[in-house]
Amino acid sequence: MVQKLACAFLLMIGMVCLFADQLAPAGYAKQFRESPNAAPSRKHLLGTDDIGRDRFSRALYGTRISLLLAPAAALLSTLLAALIGGVAGYLGGFWARCAMGFTDLFLSLPWLFLLIMVRGFLPLDVSPVLSVLATFSLLGLLGWAAAARILCAGATTIRNSDFLLQARASGLRRVRLFVFHVLPNLKPILYAQFWISIPVFILSEANLGILGLGVAEPMPSWGSLLRELEGMLSFAEAPWKLVPLVLLILVVSSFELILTKQEFAT
Amino acid sequence: MMRHRVLGRLILITFLCLGSTFARSETELRFCLRTEPKNLNPLLVSNDAEETIRYLTGGVLVRVNRQTQQLEPELAESWNVSKDGRQITFKLRQGIAFSDGTPFSAADVAYTVQQLMDPALHSATGDAFRSGAGTVSTKILASNHLAITFPAPVAGLDRLFDQVAILSSQSPKKEGAVLGPFVVAEYKPGASVLLKRNPNYWKKDSRSRRLPYLDSIRLDIQPNRDIELLHFKRGELDLINSLDSEYFDRLASTSPNLVHDAGPSLDSEQMWFNEVGNAPIPAYKRTWFRSTDFRRAIAQAINREDLSRVVFNGHAEPAIGPVSPANKFWFNDKLNPYPYDPEGALKKLQLVGFRLENGVLRDRDGNKVEFSIVTNAGNRYRERMAVMIQQDLQKVGIKVSVVTLDFPSLIERITQSFNYEAAILGLTNVDLDPNGQMNVWLSSAENHQWNPAQKSPETVWEAEIDRLMRAQASSIDPRKRKESFDRVQAIVMEQAPFIYLVNRNALSAISTSLHGASPVVLRPQTYWNADQLTLSAESGRGR
**What is the helix (H) or strand (E) element at residue A260, kind and residue range?**
helix A243-265
A57 in a domain, yes or no? no
A177 in a domain, yes or no? yes
Q: What is the rounded CA–CA span in Å between residue A106 and residue A108? A: 5
Q: Which of B34-48, B92-106, B219-233 has the highest mean pLDDT?
A: B92-106
Res A223: pLDDT: 82
- Domain region containing A87: 70-265
Q: Which residues of B touch A117 (CB under 8 A)?
A: 409
Number of domains comprising chain A: 1
ipTM for this prediction: 0.77
Residue A29 at interface with chain B, using a CB cutoff of 8 Å? yes
Res B25: pLDDT: 55
DSSP string across B354-408: -EEETTEEE-TT--B-EEEEEEETT-HHHHHHHHHHHHHHHTTT-EEEEEEE-HH
CB-CB under 8 Å, A29 with B391: yes
Mutate one of B233, B274, B306, B412 to test the A interface: name it (highest A CB count within 10 A).
B306
A30 in a domain, yes or no? no
The predicted model gives B63-85 an average pLDDT of 94
Write the residue in A52, A216, A231 that is nearest to B310 by C-beta. A52
pLDDT (tens digit, 9 = 90+) per residue, A178-234?
888 888 888 888 988 888 888 888 888 888 777 767 788 888 988 888 888 876 767
Which residues are CB-contacts of A146 (< 8 A; sequence separation ≥ 6)? A107
A11 in a domain, yes or no? no
**Percent of chain B scored above 70 by pLDDT?**
94
Q: For residue A246, give the CATH number of its domain.
A: 1.10.3720.10
CB-CB under 8 Å, B310 with A127: no
Res B24: pLDDT: 43
DSSP string across A177-240: HIIIIIHHHHHHHHHHHHHHHHHHHHHHHHHHHHTT-SSPTTS--HHHHHGGGTT---TTT-GG
A114 in a domain, yes or no? yes
Res B20: pLDDT: 43
Q: What is the rounded CA–CA span in Å between residue B482 and residue A153? A: 76
In this model, does residue B13 exceed pLDDT 50? no
Q: Which residues of B touch A124 (CB under 8 A)?
A: 372, 374, 401, 403, 419-421
pTM: 0.82
A vs B: CB pairs below 8 A: 86
Residue A12 at interface with chain B, using a CB cutoff of 8 Å? no
Res A265: pLDDT: 52
Closest CA to A221 of A184, A260, A253, A248: A248
A202 in a domain, yes or no? yes
A31 in a domain, yes or no? no
CB-CB under 8 Å, B225 with A233: no
Q: Residue type for B156, please?
A: G
Q: Look at A121-135, A240-254, B184-198 and tell me which has the smallest mean pLDDT.
A: A121-135
A53 in a domain, yes or no? no
pLDDT (tens digit, 9 = 90+) per residue, A97-131?
998 999 998 888 887 777 777 777 777 777 777 77
Q: Residue type for B476, please?
A: I
CB-CB under 8 Å, B405 with A216: no
